[in-house]
Amino acid sequence: MKLFKILLLSFILWGCEPDGIVAQDLRQEVIIENEVFKVWYNEVKEQPVKLIYTSTNRPKNVDRGSMNFYNEADYHTSDNADYYANVWDKGHLAPAATFSDSKENLKQTFSFLNCALQDQYLNRGEWRLLEEQERKWDDDSNLTITVELVWDEGYEILPTGGHIPTDMIKHIKFDKDNSWRCFEFENAKPTKGWEEHEITHSH
């Protein structure tokens, strides 16, 4: 009888977790690398912590069309529910437009491993404009870009499980001369242009 109760309790706990993943099995850090990016992912926060990609003046050969974000089978990430009926966009960290040279590369950018809870005005405004500037800079030099997400004390956790980052930082290395430019954004509606978000950072 005691064994039955233990098995029943285990079954209930298993069923309470999304996708059958028990909470204690979620990883604080898992590192995944593919042809487009390398990401340090936190399954507890359901968010990338750090992601690195390169911007190399790739030709535009394909359009995103009706591509949508998709979940990866082996990783616990955010999903569509985290972005439903709120101000949070599915923010690409490695930009789709930067990897529109092939359908395979473009599709890879739509993995939820590459997706952050990003304020809609930031995503569609100054963040997007900085991404466009990167694609101008990479005409002259390949770029190695590191995106870091920050969670300051008191950050918000959605009922669906996503942990909303408070800040997003881009470290842009110009490979031609090993110089750097860094930009930090509060994860909120911007009140100034992307140029004014530049910060001094030692590298």
CA distance 102 to 25: 35
User: What's the pLDDT tens digit per position in 96-123?
Assistant: 999 999 999 999 999 999 999 999 999 9
Number of separate domains in the chain: 1
Q: Tell me the CB-side half-sphere exposure of residue 150, using CA atoms within 13 A.
A: 12
Alpha-carbon Rg for the chain in angstroms: 19
Average pLDDT taken over every residue of the chain:
91
Q: Is residue 137 part of a domain?
A: yes
Q: Is residue 10 part of a domain?
A: no
- Checking 63-69 for CB contacts under 8 A at 24+ apart, the result is 63/100, 64/96, 64/100, 64/106, 64/110, 67/96, 67/106, 67/107, 67/110, 68/110, 69/110, 69/111, 69/112, 69/115
Q: Is residue 1 part of a domain?
A: no
Residue 54 structural domain: 27-199
Q: Is residue 127 part of a domain?
A: yes
Q: Is residue 9 part of a domain?
A: no
Helix (H) or strand (E) holding 150: strand 143-150
pLDDT reading at 67 higher than 90? yes
Q: What is the CATH number of the domain that holds 128?
A: 3.40.570.10
CA distance 95 to 171: 15
Q: Is residue 83 part of a domain?
A: yes
Average pLDDT over residues 61-86: 97
Q: Is residue 111 part of a domain?
A: yes
Residue 201: its pLDDT value, please?
Answer: 83
Q: Is residue 76 part of a domain?
A: yes
Average pLDDT over residues 121-126: 98
Residue 8: its pLDDT value, please?
Answer: 38
